Amino acid sequence: MSFVSNAVMTGFSTGIALQIITGVLKDAPGYKPEGHNKLYQLGNRLWHVGDWRLAPALTAVTTSGVWAAARTVRRLEPVALLTVRETVSVTVALPAADAELVRDITAIPSPPRRPSPPPT
C-alpha cells in the first residue's frame, strides 16, 4: 500500500463509501429510483423523499437507532446486532406494520428438508 498514492486511496475509499450508502438505501425508503447509475439513483431517492414509504423508512431509522443505543450499553455491545434483529423483528411483526416480510419475498419451506447425500 505504500506505493499507492493518497489520491488513489481517497478515490477508492470514497467509491466504497458510496457503494455502501447506495446499497443501504436500496430498500430502506421503499422507493424505486429511476436510472441505472448509482449516483443518479441516490440523487433521485433524495429528491423524492416525499415519495418514500413510511413503514420501511421508519424500520431503517429504528434499526439504526436501536443498534446505536445497544452499542452504548457495555453489556449489550457484543450482542448489539442480535438485539436489533430481535427488537425490530418483533416490532415489524405487529399487525399494523406495513413492511415487507420474508414471506412476501419468497416461500419458506416447512419443515426444512433433511440433508441428503449427493447423487452418485
Quick check: 13 pLDDT over 80? yes
What is the spatial distance between Cα 90 and Cα 80, in angstroms, rounded to a whole number?
Answer: 16
25-34, 72-81, 95-104: the lowest-pLDDT one = 95-104
What is the spatial distance between Cα 28 and Cα 50, in angstroms, rounded to a whole number?
Answer: 14
pLDDT of residue 99: 66
Q: How far is CA 26 from CA 35, 37, 55, 73, in A?
A: 13, 13, 15, 30
Quick check: 1 pLDDT over 70? no
Annotated domain spans of the chain: 7-52, 53-95
Q: pLDDT tens for residues 23-47?
A: 777 777 777 888 888 778 888 888 8
* Mean pLDDT score, 78-90: 83
Phi, psi of 71 (to 5 degrees): -70, -20
pLDDT of residue 4: 83
pLDDT of residue 98: 67
